[in-house]
Amino acid sequence: MTKVEFTSRFYCHSSERQGRDENGCNCHIISASYQCQALLVTANPGRYFYNFLDEFKKEIRNLLSRRHGTKRVFASKMYQKYIAHKEHIHVNATRWNSLSVDNNPKALARQAFLQKMDRTEKDDEERDLQMLREQFE
């Protein structure tokens, strides 16, 4: 028996079911279980929407912290890595301005220290360049 890879194209988030193809997805949509779930979602869309957003936020932060730590990364590249997983939550837009990973005092102190070290290195390089310029004059 071979393992079949399913795409997220035919995944129903509200029912948490995977369809094999478009026909399977259409059959699921007309099923009684989907109709019942659709009624629950339409009765209280905010609850489901915010649950999806919270799950998205949690998963994207986990991925960011595991793969990149405190480094800056392009959001589009990060999202491409995120949606490579079958069970991802697809979000067209979010309510957040930032998806920063760590806001705890230790992480912020480390980030400030790294920025200070970076500035110090740049200052040293500028001083060396200035000395070279003076020597050539």
> Which pLDDT tens digit goes with each residue over 59-71?
888 888 888 877 8
Distance between CA atoms of residues 38 and 50, nearest Å: 16
Check residue 104 and report its DSSP letter: S
The mean pLDDT of 11-36, rounded to a whole number, is 80
Mean pLDDT is lowest, of 47-51, 56-60, 102-106, 119-123, for 102-106
Closest CA to 57 of 65, 67, 46: 65
Q: What is the percentage of the chain residues whose pLDDT exceeds 70? A: 80
Half-sphere exposure for 70 (CA within 13 Å, toward CB): 13
- Extents of the domains making up the chain: 1-43, 45-100, 102-137
To the nearest 10 degrees (0 to 180), the angle between helices 75-82 and 45-67 is: 110
The mean pLDDT of 59-85, rounded to a whole number, is 81
Residue type, 33: S
Question: Which residues have C-beta within 8 Å of that of residue 107, sequence separation ≥ 6?
Answer: 70, 101
